[in-house]
């Protein structure tokens, strides 16, 4: 990654003593650029807390849903092997990279945050894979949709609803309490994992369910 882009990501962290460090995730067998703190028990004033949560650098985390789906793909590569894949709301691109390493023919990544797209390309280079960025609103033709940790506001995600109803196959990793009601789901697996880095309650292990469309075969 060009030095200027890495500096831009560093400045976007919005936390004292924060940096970006490459970390190996053994469960997914890949590397990610993740947020690191000198002190995980931060003492912040109200203004700093509000600023951080309003501009959360979610692309600097390996979220529980993404970790669960990446691990599932590592054990079930046939779900994406030889297929065109879209990682929707990619963040760090953990899932897209896992799909590429599992043998996907083509992997596209999409995110509203330009910093996430920068992080995705950096993480792709770390893992020696190629990811194709989606231009706003111009969705590629793909075989499989991958999405994780994106249903905190399903009512506002028109794009996700449209994609789930039009793309032939999809894999969705979310808490059992957050799932769409406009499709019939089939649960493929449940994995209890946590978000990295462990800041505050992010270290809490949570059950993540991996869903596909009910009409799909268990392994797509």
Q: Which residue has the higher pLDDT, 119 or 1?
A: 119
**How much is the pLDDT for 204?**
75
The reported pLDDT for the residue numbered 170 is 92
Q: Where are the alpha helices (DSSP H) in the chain?
A: 3-11, 46-54, 64-75, 94-101, 114-126, 158-166
Question: Residue range 16-28: average pLDDT?
Answer: 90
pLDDT tens-digit profile of 201-211?
556 788 999 99
Flag whether pLDDT at 12 surpasses 90. no
Which residues make Cβ contacts (< 8 Å) with residue 18, sequence separation at least 6?
35, 36, 37
d(CA 61, CA 32): 9
Per-residue model confidence as pLDDT tens digits over 130-171: 999 998 778 999 999 999 988 765 544 788 888 988 998 999
d(CA 219, CA 39): 42
DSSP, residue by residue, 27-72? TTTEEEEEEEES-SS----HHHHHHHHHT--GGGSB-HHHHHHHHH
pLDDT at 83: 97
Structure tokens at 193: 């994992």
What pLDDT shows up at residue 76?
96
pLDDT digits over 103-130, tens only? 999 999 999 899 999 999 999 999 999 9
Instruction: Name the percent of the chain lying above pLDDT 90.
Output: 54
């Amino acid at each position: 990654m060009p030095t200027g882009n890495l500096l831009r990501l560093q400045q976007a962290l919005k936390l004292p003593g924060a940096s970006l460090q490459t970390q190996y995730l053994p469960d997914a067998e890949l590397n990610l650029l993740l947020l690191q703190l000198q002190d995980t028990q931060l003492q912040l004033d109200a203004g700093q807390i509000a600023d951080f949560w309003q501009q959360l650098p979610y692309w600097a985390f390996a979220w529980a849903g993404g970790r669960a789906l990446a691990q599932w793909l590592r054990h079930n590569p046939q779900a994406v092997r030889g297929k065109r894949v879209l990682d929707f709301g990619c963040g760090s691109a953990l899932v897209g990279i896992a799909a590429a390493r599992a043998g996907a023919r083509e992997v596209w990544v999409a995110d509203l945050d330009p910093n996430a797209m920068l992080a995705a390309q950096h993480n792709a280079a770390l893992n020696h894979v190629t990811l194709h960025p989606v231009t706003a609103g111009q969705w590629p033709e793909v075989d499989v949709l991958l999405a994780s940790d994106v249903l905190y506001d399903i009512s506002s995600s028109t794009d996700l609803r449209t994609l789930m109803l039009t793309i032939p196959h999809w894999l969705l990793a979310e808490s059992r309490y957050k799932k769409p009601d406009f499709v019939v789901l089939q649960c493929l697996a449940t994995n209890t994992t946590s978000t990295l880095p462990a800041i505050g309650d992010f270290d809490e292990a949570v059950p993540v369910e991996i869903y596909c469309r009910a009409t799909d075969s268990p392994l797509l």
